[in-house]
Structure 1
Amino acid sequence: MTHAARIAHLRESIGRRALAAAGVTNAHITSVERIGTIFIVATEDPADRWAPYAVETFRIPTPDDTDRNYEPGEAPKIWCPLAGWVGDSLDEMPGMVDKATAYARENA
């Protein structure tokens, strides 16, 4: 496996974990990009008849993220969903990715 392929596989794995934290488990990841401390994850879910295309942004977990069920310093790191866009057409995907990229650049 090439270095680029390993990086792509790692990004998809990270994207899958971030989506799972937001309750998204069945969508196909079409792309994952990192800008600063924000991951942008684009997905397609043909089973979603109203909005099969989505782009989500997530802040990378930091030690400050805690679950109130744990004592400080003992909580697991969590993914923080920030903003997302949905559409019903593949033609909308580039615009949604552009919006997510602009959002990430402003907030990373």
Structure 2
Amino acid sequence: MSAQKVLNLSDLEQDTAVRVEVDGVPMAVVLDGEGVVHAIGDTCTHGDISLSDGFVEGDTLECWAHGSAFSLRTGRPLNLPAYEPVPVYEVTIDGDDVLIDPTVTKAVD
């Protein structure tokens, strides 16, 4: 599978998450304060809650329900109650197009 357009870069607001679904895979897409676009799995690993309804601060996305914050760069939870990471997807920007391949996750050390 190849990367698919999920939205326009101009549609993203800084420090706000947007939920998209690519081939049945829910993702939260975020334009952070440094202008970097991130895509992580949209489902909190603690409570099956949509992360895109949460709060963006710096390079984290916090689940609104129980407060677990996930790194937008690694997908790792930074505090409890979540302890399992969410997937992080490669994002490609082509002009105004934001492209994501739901089968390609970033390697996290």
Q: TM-score range by the shorter chain?
A: 0.3 to 0.5
Determine which structure has more spread, i.e. the larger CA radius of gyration: 1
- In terms of fraction of residues, the more strand-rich structure is 2
Q: TM-score, normalised by structure 1?
A: 0.33
TM-score when normalising by structure 2 = 0.33
